[in-house]
Structures are given as C-alpha cells and as structure tokens.
Amino acid sequence: MLSTLVIPVRGASVFLAPKTRKIGMGCLNAYGGKFEEGVDADIASCALREFESESTAVTHKVYLTPAAEVSFYKGGGLVFKCYIYICWRWEGELKATEEMGQPEEHPLFDPPYERMMRGDRFWLPKVLAGERPFRARLYYSEDMEVVEKFEVCGPLF
C-alpha cells in the first residue's frame, strides 16, 4: 500500500496533531493517508487531498518538498510505503477533523517524540533537519511496541 504524510512547517515550528483512529491512534502525527487508485493522479495529489481532508487547510504542489520515502514493516511484513513531504506554506487554519485532533505547534528541532509512534524518532529528525531526501526502512515488532531496525537505503533521487 502507498501512503503519504505531509508535515506542516512554518518558521521554527512544526505542526502535529493526535490521530483519532487507525495506526498511531492517540499519537501525534502529521497529515496523510493512503493513495487511492482512480482518485489520485499521482502521489503528490494524494498528499494534497489527504492534507486538506485531515487539516482543513489547503496547499499546492509547489509548496510540498519531498523529504523521504519510508517503508514500514510490522513483524517482518511490509505494511505500507510512505512518501513524506514538508509543507512550507498553506492557506487557512489547521483545525481538528474526524481523523486528527487539535493541531499543536512544537519547536521544529524538539518535537515531543515521546508522544509519537516509536519509529518517528528515527526518521523525523532527518526530515526536519532538511537532510537530502532519502529512502529508508523501519521495522516494528509484530505488536509495534519495539523498533527492531531502521536503515537508510540511499537518496530518494
């Protein structure tokens, strides 16, 4: 399954919200979801659609910067491949929706990793630091309580 994640950044702040359902429920996260064949023209279109649906704000492809492609595994099996973007500009306010709770502003280089999914502390600092876009794999245990392995596989392009 292909998915997207859009991380809103403004100045020295990153905006995250608690997920209200599905994988990561209760954890702070960025905005995104799965690619829908026949709905999304491409992966960036999916990112735009999901960002608007989950945040009520609107952005455009020119404001999305590709940051990473992370494949997430659970118990050895691939769960999804996620295309991660930084969003530097948007219109409207980030608001709570059915999928995401009230957005929170956090320091760009010190987000509350203890409130996020365990694996986020491996890839998110690289993304927020503006490292060259990369491909990576993150392996969770079957119960998703333990990160068994994280590996950067090379540049995204």
Instruction: Give the separation between CA 36 and CA 105, rounded to whole angstroms.
Output: 29
- List Cα–Cα distances, 48 to 32, 56, 128, 145, 150, in angstroms: 9, 11, 19, 30, 27
Residue 39 scores a pLDDT above 90: yes
pLDDT at residue 14, rounded to an integer: 98
CATH number of the domain that residue 141 is part of? 3.90.79.10
Mean pLDDT (whole number) for 78-105: 98
Q: What's the pLDDT band for 22 if we cut at 50, 70, 90?
A: confident
Give the range of the structural domain holding residue 44, as residue numbers without chain letter. Answer: 2-155
Q: What is the SS3 assignment for 35? A: coil
Instruction: Give the mean pLDDT of the chain.
Output: 97
How many domains in the chain? 1
Residue 25: predicted pLDDT: 94
Contact yes or no for 32/47 (Cβ under 8 A): yes
Predicted confidence (pLDDT) per residue in 46-74, tens digit = 999 999 999 999 999 999 999 999 999 99
